[in-house]
């Protein structure tokens, strides 16, 4: 048994030793230990180095608020976690833990020279010290600072663990299973509510676990705890340990993160590591207790200095003595009880320093009986010891005068600056916090959520008060849900009540400029830093926080916020509520990305839509690209071909003979009903009334602001039925827009809209031989040039499959798009490939489709337009039905700015050197020699190498471009600036002769 463990004591299993390693050394703890309690049992206080000064640090707390004892934990490849709180990580067999922010070692750390340079590292030193030269910031200062300062290292490998997500509904969620939470859950469950009780620790009980001497309802605290948990289980209460309520969201939704396997020696193969719960509760009781405040004095951060309540927890819960010779310094009664318990366990209490002049007589009596020397009206002004505290310097304070100090030897120093109600979740609800002048702390005010705060979170102290309040909260929750509930406030004997005073820095006789009196341990912020920040003009606590970093990082100021506020307010000469409090935001404690991502990772992060022809494409070596949520065949390389070679071959083959393209992803909407043509007239710019059934038209859709939203070929199948196609990415948007107008502006129209995107598989045949491939497969339709001219649509059978056949072209070649029910898509494709074999039919992908359309100057909405482009800008003025009285966006086309000169217009661009391919997005200038910043007159929207034309082509939006045809502009690109001539957009077959086959 280790020197600091008391045999048989605590809630750990003394018969179950657990081996683990810390910084490569092997240690033994007990089942039920945390890493911190096991290290303390081995006499190890030094657990880490601080953020900025690399000062040696040990555990200050025994809970989730721990700022110092942050460790890296590992369970093999990919399972490394930085910044784990040693005070929360349960011991498991074989746990590998390491300290952080030290080199070469924890005991001797070269970074500790920062501590000697303390006067240099004042508040805001980043802003002051690294001003010059500017270029040094990126290359020298920042990398060096980042390497030297900081917390744990980020894991570098993918996380192999699984994380689960669950929903839960409850009548009542109780957060915190201390005395108040237990009483609330019991009262509500007895009234018949469905109750869930959660606690972040490995077992329930909260403060009761650290105060076994209290007697509740006639039973010792731990017996009462066991009996109460049994009763809750019997009443059907869901009890969840190791579960942190991380955030309180709208309408009583609480996020819980449950740690499922981190405490297990060997996790089951299929168990998730963590589980995120989204709980919707009719009522919530927040019983999160209070967090003990450190005191602020020089050297208050040495290993061995810790909160008095933490020492009490290590003693009772883990059977661990945090030292043999303890000094105590307190501003609150509660530390007396810690001192008494430690004394009763055999610890020598070297001194008990009370900052108050007149501590309660009853406590002084008890101290005297135990032979503890109490120094009331005293201050602590310094500590000594390098890797562990060795002595504390104690001074008498009278009328504000600090007398000379004397050193008292000790191996640990227990401090208590009072208690801060834990109101983080309450604050997430936007609940108001009210400054309580008497208690010198913030207490919960009003909230709009259906929420009760109970117990120490409300500033109550003592088990009787807290249990009664929890019971009342449970009754109130039940009443609010219409359940009669009888209160049963538990009777308490041997209660531990008390109060204290709130302080700033402890008074000292030493020069404040040299004092290392830490307010925020994790960020190495001292009282001096905060006072300096205020003197330098930071008037609000939010400014002080950003300037000094107090309250940041993994503990989010759980220990430091109130001390920081008191010091800032004192410097400003204002009351604390006038200085404010920083905003609490979720999560309450650091939460893994894995838990938040849950199942949404890898292929489950975003869905991948695949067409019925996708398997064929994959089988035939397609390279894919994501388009909206689809994966589309990008190009079909043959052996040895790169992308450019494959695309050139596909383009040439299509223009020379015939190509085949999977167009299934195009959005498709059926517009049906007696008023369908009126609806189309109002939605699209084009006139539809005279479009005969069996004919199609290019449709242009604007927003009400007059800018291009979408386009596509639209076929009229019958008087009352249109087959609308949209861009691949615009399908859902267009349907939403149509539904919006139909439902809310024109509900009188008898029209029905149906998304049919996934109902149809679409193969596009393009090329001079397209008809020769298709014709033998078609039944029930004459597709000769005269009988089925360009822009026709008809129903027929293709390869025996019922089809909607369009004759249209997005390539400038003779083209057909064959729509068949999706389940027949693969059959259709194979039939077309077989029929096309004699013509060397060439499957092509989206890249070739883009090149072929650009050669013809056809736009891609969203690439050649960007939400600021009108039909006239895009050269599509011909698509506007000028005789129509109204359509969506029509009125905007005559707004002053829409007709003003200087608009950017879509034009073609040909580089002077044929083989230069401009970068899409490149800016365009008129004069390349003008001083910086240059005046940019437009940008390149599309740019390709055209195998057909034997040169590069591009499209661009250029100011007044339509009237600048033939002029030369300049395109600066990395390396050099290129000259290019403005042209029309139709680079190939501008008269459309090839469509007339």
- Residues forming the site for another protein (CB under 8 A): 249-251, 253, 278, 280, 430, 448, 704-705, 736, 739-740, 743-745, 747, 885-886, 890-892, 895-896
| Smallest distance, another protein to C-beta of residue 744, A | 5
Composition of the chain by helix, strand, coil, percent to 5: 25, 30, 45
- Long-range (24+ apart) CB contacts under 8 A made by 17-20 are 18/91, 18/92, 18/93, 18/95, 19/93, 19/94, 20/91, 20/92, 20/93, 20/94, 20/95, 20/96, 20/97
Phi-psi region of 23 (alpha: psi -120 to 50; beta: other; left: phi over 0): left
| Smallest distance, another protein to C-beta of residue 204, A | 28
- Indicate the residue among 164 and 253 with the shorter CB distance to another protein: 253
Cα-only R_g, the chain: 37
- Indicate the residue among 448 and 575 with the shorter CB distance to another protein: 448
- Indicate the residue among 278 and 396 with the shorter CB distance to another protein: 278
| Smallest distance, another protein to C-beta of residue 162, A | 23
Number of Cβ within a 10 Å radius of residue 223: 14
- Indicate the residue among 480 and 656 with the shorter CB distance to another protein: 480
C-alpha torsion sign, points 811, 816, 822, 825: negative
| Smallest distance, another protein to C-beta of residue 895, A | 6
> CA–CA separation, 56 vs 36, rounded Å?
15
- Indicate the residue among 689 and 743 with the shorter CB distance to another protein: 743
Residue 693 corresponds to which tokens in the numbers above?
């059934």
Place of tokens 């910043």: 933
| Smallest distance, another protein to C-beta of residue 867, A | 14
Say which residues have a Cβ less than 8 Å from residue 517's Cβ, sequence separation at least 6. Answer: 296, 297, 298, 299, 300, 505, 506, 508, 526, 527, 528
- Indicate the residue among 115 and 872 with the shorter CB distance to another protein: 872
| Smallest distance, another protein to C-beta of residue 601, A | 19
> CA–CA separation, 484 vs 491, rounded Å?
22
- Indicate the residue among 189 and 671 with the shorter CB distance to another protein: 671
- Indicate the residue among 313 and 447 with the shorter CB distance to another protein: 447
Residue 26 corresponds to which tokens in the numbers above?
């092997």
Contact at 8 Å (CB) between 286 and 452?
Answer: yes
Sheet with 412-416, edge to edge strand ranges: 305-307, 412-416, 325-330, 348-354, 374-376
| Smallest distance, another protein to C-beta of residue 741, A | 8
| Smallest distance, another protein to C-beta of residue 595, A | 17
> CA–CA separation, 915 vs 73, rounded Å?
56
Place of tokens 């600021």: 868
| Smallest distance, another protein to C-beta of residue 427, A | 15
Place of tokens 């509904």: 169
- Indicate the residue among 161 and 449 with the shorter CB distance to another protein: 449
Say which residues have a Cβ less than 8 Å from residue 139's Cβ, sequence separation at least 6. Answer: none
> CA–CA separation, 122 vs 487, rounded Å?
55
Q: For residue 662, give Cα distances in angstroms to 84, 826, 832.
A: 51, 10, 12
| Smallest distance, another protein to C-beta of residue 583, A | 16
Ranges of H-type helices in 684-804: 731-740, 770-774
Phi-psi region of 580 (alpha: psi -120 to 50; beta: other; left: phi over 0): left
- Indicate the residue among 278 and 601 with the shorter CB distance to another protein: 278
| Smallest distance, another protein to C-beta of residue 250, A | 5
Contact at 8 Å (CB) between 445 and 364?
Answer: no
> CA–CA separation, 830 vs 840, rounded Å?
14
- Indicate the residue among 618 and 745 with the shorter CB distance to another protein: 745
- Indicate the residue among 304 and 431 with the shorter CB distance to another protein: 431
To the nearest 10 degrees (0 to 180), the angle between helices 527-535 and 541-548 is 120
- Indicate the residue among 896 and 921 with the shorter CB distance to another protein: 896
- Indicate the residue among 513 and 754 with the shorter CB distance to another protein: 754
- Indicate the residue among 28 and 165 with the shorter CB distance to another protein: 165
- Indicate the residue among 745 and 779 with the shorter CB distance to another protein: 745
Residue 403 corresponds to which tokens in the numbers above?
């007398």
| Smallest distance, another protein to C-beta of residue 609, A | 17
Contact at 8 Å (CB) between 433 and 444?
Answer: yes
| Smallest distance, another protein to C-beta of residue 758, A | 16
| Smallest distance, another protein to C-beta of residue 430, A | 7
- What SS3 class is residue 466? helix
C-alpha torsion sign, points 712, 717, 722, 723: negative
> DSSP state, 778?
E
Sheet with 25-31, edge to edge strand ranges: 25-31, 13-22, 95-98, 70-74, 80-85
| Smallest distance, another protein to C-beta of residue 890, A | 7
| Smallest distance, another protein to C-beta of residue 252, A | 9
| Smallest distance, another protein to C-beta of residue 745, A | 5
- What SS3 class is residue 292? strand
- Indicate the residue among 58 and 871 with the shorter CB distance to another protein: 871
């Amino acid at each position: 048994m280790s020197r600091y463990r008391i045999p048989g004591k605590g809630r750990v299993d003394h018969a179950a030793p657990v081996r683990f390693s810390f910084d490569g050394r092997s240690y033994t703890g007990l089942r039920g230990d945390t890493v911190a309690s096991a290290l303390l049992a081995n006499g190890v206080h030094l657990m880490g180095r601080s953020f900025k000064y690399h000062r040696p640090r040990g555990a200050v707390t025994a809970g989730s608020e721990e700022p110092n004892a942050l460790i890296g934990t590992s369970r093999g490849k990919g399972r490394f976690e930085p910044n784990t709180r040693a005070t929360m990580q349960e011991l498991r067999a074989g746990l590998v833990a390491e300290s952080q922010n030290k080199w070469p070692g924890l005991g001797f750390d070269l970074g500790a020279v920062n501590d000697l340079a303390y006067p240099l590292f004042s508040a805001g030193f980043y802003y002051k010290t690294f001003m010059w030269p500017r270029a040094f910031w990126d290359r020298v200062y920042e990398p060096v600072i980042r390497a030297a300062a900081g917390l744990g290292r980020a894991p570098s490998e993918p996380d192999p663990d699984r994380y689960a997500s669950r929903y839960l509904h409850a009548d009542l969620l109780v957060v915190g299973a201390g005395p108040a939470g237990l009483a609330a859950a019991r009262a509500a469950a007895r009234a018949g509510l469905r109750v869930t009780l959660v606690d972040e620790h490995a077992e329930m009980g909260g403060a009761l676990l650290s105060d076994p001497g209290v007697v509740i309802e006639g039973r010792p605290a731990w017996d009462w705890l066991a009996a109460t948990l049994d009763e809750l289980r019997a009443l059907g209460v869901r009890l969840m340990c190791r579960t942190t309520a991380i955030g309180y969201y709208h309408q009583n939704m609480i996020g819980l993160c449950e740690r499922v396997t981190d405490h297990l020696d060997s996790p089951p193969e299929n168990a998730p590591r963590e589980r995120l719960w989204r709980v919707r509760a009719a009522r919530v009781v927040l019983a999160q207790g209070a967090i003990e405040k450190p005191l602020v004095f020089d050297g208050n951060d040495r290993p061995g200095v810790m909160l008095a309540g933490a020492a009490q927890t290590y003693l009772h819960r883990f059977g661990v003595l945090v030292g043999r010779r303890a000094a105590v310094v307190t501003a609150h009664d509660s530390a007396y009880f810690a001192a008494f318990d430690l004394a009763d366990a055999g610890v020598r209490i070297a001194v008990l320093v009370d900052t108050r002049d007149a501590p309660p007589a009853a406590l002084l009596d008890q101290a005297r009986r135990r032979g503890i020397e109490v120094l009331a009206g005293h201050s602590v002004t310094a500590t000594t010891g390098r890797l562990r505290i060795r002595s504390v310097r104690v001074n008498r304070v009278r009328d504000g005068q600090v007398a000379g100090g004397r050193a008292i030897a000790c191996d640990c120093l227990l401090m208590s600056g009072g208690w801060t109600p834990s109101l983080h979740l309450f604050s997430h609800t936007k609940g108001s916090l009210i400054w309580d002048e008497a208690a010198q702390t913030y207490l919960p005010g009003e909230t709009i959520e259906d929420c009760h705060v109970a117990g120490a979170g409300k500033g109550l102290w003592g088990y009787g008060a807290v249990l009664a309040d929890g019971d009342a909260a449970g009754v109130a929750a039940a009443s609010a849900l219409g359940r009669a509930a009888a209160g049963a406030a538990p009777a308490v004997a041997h209660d531990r009540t008390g109060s204290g005073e709130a302080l700033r820095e402890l008074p000292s006789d030493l020069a404040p400029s040299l004092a290392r009196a830490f307010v925020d341990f994790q960020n190495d912020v001292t009282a001096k830093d905060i006072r300096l920040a205020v003197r330098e003009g930071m008037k609000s606590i939010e400014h002080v926080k950003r300037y000094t970093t107090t309250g940041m990082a993994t503990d989010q100021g759980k220990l430091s916020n109130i001390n920081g506020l008191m010091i800032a307010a004192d410097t400003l000469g204002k009351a604390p509520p006038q200085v404010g409090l920083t905003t609490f935001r979720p999560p309450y404690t650091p939460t893994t990305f894995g838990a938040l991502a849950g199942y949404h990772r890898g292929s489950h992060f975003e869905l991948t839509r695949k067409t019925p022809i996708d398997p064929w494409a994959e089988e035939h070596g397609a390279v894919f690209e994501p388009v909206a949520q689809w994966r589309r065949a990008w190009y079909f390389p043959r052996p040895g071909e790169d992308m450019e070679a494959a695309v050139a071959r596909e383009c040439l083959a299509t223009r020379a003979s015939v190509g085949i393209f999977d167009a299934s992803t195009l959005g498709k909407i059926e517009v049906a009903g007696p008023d369908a043509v009126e609806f189309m007239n109002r939605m699209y710019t084009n006139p539809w009334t005279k479009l005969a059934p069996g004919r199609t038209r290019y449709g242009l859709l604007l927003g009400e602001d007059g800018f291009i939203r979408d386009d596509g070929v639209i076929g009229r199948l019958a008087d009352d039925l249109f087959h609308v196609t949209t861009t691949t990415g615009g399908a859902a948007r267009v349907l939403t827009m149509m539904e919006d107008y139909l439902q809310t502006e024109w509900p009188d129209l008898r029209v029905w809209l149906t998304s049919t995107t996934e109902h149809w598989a679409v193969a596009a045949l393009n090329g001079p031989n397209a008809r020769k491939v298709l014709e033998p497969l078609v039944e029930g339709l004459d597709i000769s040039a005269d009988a089925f001219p360009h822009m026709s649509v008809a129903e027929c059978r293709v390869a025996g499959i019922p089809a909607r056949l369009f004759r249209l072209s997005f390539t400038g070649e003779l083209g057909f798009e064959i729509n068949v029910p999706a389940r027949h898509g693969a059959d259709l494709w194979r039939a077309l490939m077989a029929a096309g074999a004699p013509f060397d039919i060439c499957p092509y992908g989206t890249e070739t489709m883009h090149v072929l359309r650009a050669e013809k100057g056809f736009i891609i909405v969203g690439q050649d337009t960007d939400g600021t482009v009108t039909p006239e800008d895009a050269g599509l003025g011909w698509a506007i039905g000028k005789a129509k009285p109204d359509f969506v966006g029509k009125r905007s086309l005559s707004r002053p700015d829409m007709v003003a000169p200087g608009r950017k217009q879509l034009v073609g661009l040909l580089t002077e050197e044929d083989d230069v391919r401009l970068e899409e997005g490149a800016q365009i200038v008129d004069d390349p020699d003008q001083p910086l910043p240059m005046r940019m007159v437009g940008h390149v929207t599309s740019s390709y190498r055209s195998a057909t034309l034997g040169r590069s082509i591009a499209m661009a939006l250029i100011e007044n471009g339509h009237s600048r045809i033939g002029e030369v502009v300049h395109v600066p690109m990395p390396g050099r600036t290129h000259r290019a001539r403005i042209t029309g957009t139709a680079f190939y077959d501008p008269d459309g002769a090839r469509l007339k086959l």
